[in-house]
């Protein structure tokens, strides 16, 4: 099973960090796409309480369960904080949406034993399967 298949395995739970109120922003599009595909998905944004009636969480540590995959849709400067939180929680699969990644962030993932996907959109890869 290749890495993309492991990340998109049926039954995986996702957290989308950087979900937005704005339907046109990628954080929101990723969240809605994964939900529509049947995954359990938790929205994460400290500035939002609810997205379409779903509780939005202020951090990964506030989630009711540890997600199988964290999808990061925040600027590279904010991504490192998310990755540190992932490492502290033992989260091992991280997908950085285009525009979220940096060499430092990718290096951090590898140094901490995380599988990391970057440079490709999760929605495009999911729909192409």
129 in a structural domain? no
Q: How far apart are CA 96 and CA 119, in angstroms?
A: 7
Q: How far apart are CA 79 and CA 45, in angstroms?
A: 13
Q: CATH number, domain at 46?
A: 3.40.50.720
CB 118 within 8 A of CB 107: no
Q: What is the pLDDT of residue 2?
A: 83
Q: How far apart are CA 24 and CA 83, in angstroms?
A: 25
In terms of DSSP bridges, do strands 93-96 and 40-44 run parallel, antiparallel, or are they unpaired? Answer: unpaired
Decide which of 128 and 28 is more confident: 28
3-state secondary structure of 12: coil
Q: How far apart are CA 26 and CA 29, in angstroms?
A: 5
Domain count across the chain: 1
pLDDT in tens, 93-106: 999 999 999 999 99
95 in a structural domain? yes
Copy the structure tokens of residue 67: 């997600």
CB 89 within 8 A of CB 59: no
Q: Which domain holds residue 17?
A: 3-123
pLDDT in tens, 33-66: 999 999 999 999 999 999 989 999 999 999 999 9
């Amino acid at each position: 099973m290749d890495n993309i298949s492991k990340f998109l395995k049926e039954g995986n739970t996702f957290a989308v960090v950087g979900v937005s109120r704005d339907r046109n922003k990628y954080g929101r599009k990723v969240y809605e796409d994964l939900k529509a595909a049947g995954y359990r998905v938790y929205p994460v944004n400290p500035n939002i309480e609810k997205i379409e009636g779903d509780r939005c969480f202020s951090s990964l540590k506030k989630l009711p369960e540890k997600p199988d995959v964290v999808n990061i849709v925040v600027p590279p400067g904010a991504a490192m904080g998310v990755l540190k939180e992932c490492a502290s929680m033992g989260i091992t699969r991280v997908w950085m949406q285009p525009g979220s990644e940096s060499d430092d962030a990718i290096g951090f993932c590898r140094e901490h034993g995380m599988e990391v996907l970057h440079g490709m959109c999760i929605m495009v890869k999911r729909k192409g399967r």
